[in-house]
Chain A
């Protein structure tokens, strides 16, 4: 099975303190450290497990500048067979649709049976997978937390839905799935593992290579633009109890009594 996994390089919230820069044009870039989007990492792990079970190969692709190569390499150290970087100045500032159309161009160049993306990334939009599927006219499922390969034509898929329930589907290949965390336990990538793939060639495809007209993507083609960043106002919010621990607890107990929290 030929599997393509789309990954994104993001500042991991668990390793960064995300703050807005002075002008409010972006988040504070100094001291940020980047890694692969957490959901994407689960997607790559799942792809590797599928490949190890049924054969085929796993290709990792990322749209981004040359620094995105770092995460492609990391996922190759994890066990992906191939890496591709889709990079062009014209791609910069793409919105979700732009990213999806760049990926679509790559998918159309090759033959893939299954495309995995992370369910969402740093921007929380959860959009690229569904758009990519629509552009390709392939079936799509989001928030996938279970995959079973039935044969080379169909798979069984579970989606995480409300109430902790799981929606089960049978889907024909090729299809696009966006992967939810918890579907597996991603393996560790050691420094040695990364070094072992350090010299592997990662081909870079530009807009020209992909046959994309520069004005259809990037900032030029983006319908949605980010105006500014700000820290949400702490509106009315909660009444914050202050004082010594004892005072706070006295206060709290009175409130609990009033609201029926203590019977």
Chain B
């Protein structure tokens, strides 16, 4: 392919996001021979520690260091990337709330092809990349063909590419700050104010070992009680998918997913949850996932270790009873 591949690294509190490794894996699938450059924007010592961490598994690390980048926003970053990216480069960005902000506009500004929310690559032929995407909330998949010979911005769905182990590398950290910020930062039209933190609920599901998670399949608010009973029997906590929060049956702090909490339980019961990637994206640390769903084609069965095809309303009360019997025995 011969084109340079870049991976934009998201980081927080001096630590690179899990997607950094996934982007390496994605780049490898894209082109096994490609040398991959990590691009990291930030400020001061936190930035340095991310760079050092990332340098251990990327071939090269470009950093952009400016106090104004202590909180990176897409609008400020985009023109900086435009200045430092070479022609015809391939840029990989995680398809998350930051990527959605940054990437479409970036593709226009560097006049490159744009491939959003890619879940797999199936090879490059004659400058044309064959990639796999999902449509209709994952009900069908599609192969898309895109001419990336003039460069591309590709957003990669978090969790789609599994990095087996860290490539041991000894990447060089190159400071690109001067090139990126030659004529100052683009501020003014778009000013970051603050983060309004989600209200902390009665339980912190990010710290739970056992999560009994409920989705649309619960059907009715009155059935919520059986979820709590099961969670109590299992000595776990109750979490949920977005529809439950939208219906106001549980507080936002119990929502697992990309727009909710990221959780790392040991056991995760997905009850009546279809398993859209926005939900599964909130599951980290490879828990043991048990899925119960009416629809045998529900994507959650892809993620789960053990699945039961059936109505949760039939299973839950019985399961709760059996566990309680077991405990009292």
Contact = CB atoms under 8 A, between A and B. Distances in A.
Q: Do A and B bind each other?
A: yes
Interface of A: 11, 13, 18-20, 27, 96-97, 100, 119, 122-131, 133-135, 139-143, 156, 158-172, 175, 178, 181-182, 223-232, 234-235, 237-241, 245, 248-249, 252-253, 255-256, 259-263
A164 B301 contact: no
Interface in B183-223: 188-198, 209-210
A163 B261 contact: yes
Interface of B: prevailing SS: mixed
A123 B135 contact: yes
Interface centre among B136, B269, B288 (most CB of A within 10 A): B136
A41 B6 CA distance: 36
Interface centre among A131, A164, A227 (most CB of B within 10 A): A164
Contact of B116 (A126, A165, A175): A126
A223 B113 contact: yes
Given A134-B104, A261-B210, A127 B309 contact: no
A166 B195 CA distance: 6
Contact of B109 (A122, A134, A175, A261): A134
Contacts of B262: 162-163
Nearest to B103: A130
A170 B267 CA distance: 42
A97 B114 contact: yes
A230 B140 contact: yes
Interface of B: 73-75, 78, 95-98, 100-109, 113-117, 130, 133-147, 188-198, 209-210, 234-236, 246, 252-253, 255, 258-262, 266-267, 269, 288-291, 296-297, 299, 301-310, 314-315, 318-319, 322-323, 326-327
Given A119-B100, A260-B209, A18 B301 contact: no
Nearest to A141: B101
B77 to A, nearest CB: 12
15 contacts: A126-B100, A130-B105, A134-B78, A134-B105, A164-B255, A226-B142, A227-B130, A227-B145, A228-B143, A234-B301, A237-B302, A238-B289, A253-B326, A261-B210, A261-B236
A249 B315 contact: yes
Given A131-B105, A253-B326, 18 more contacts: A27-B135, A27-B136, A97-B107, A124-B137, A129-B104, A130-B108, A141-B190, A160-B97, A161-B98, A171-B190, A172-B189, A172-B190, A229-B142, A232-B134, A238-B301, A245-B315, A261-B210, A262-B327
A10 to B, nearest CB: 9
Contact of A143 (B97, B103, B198): B97
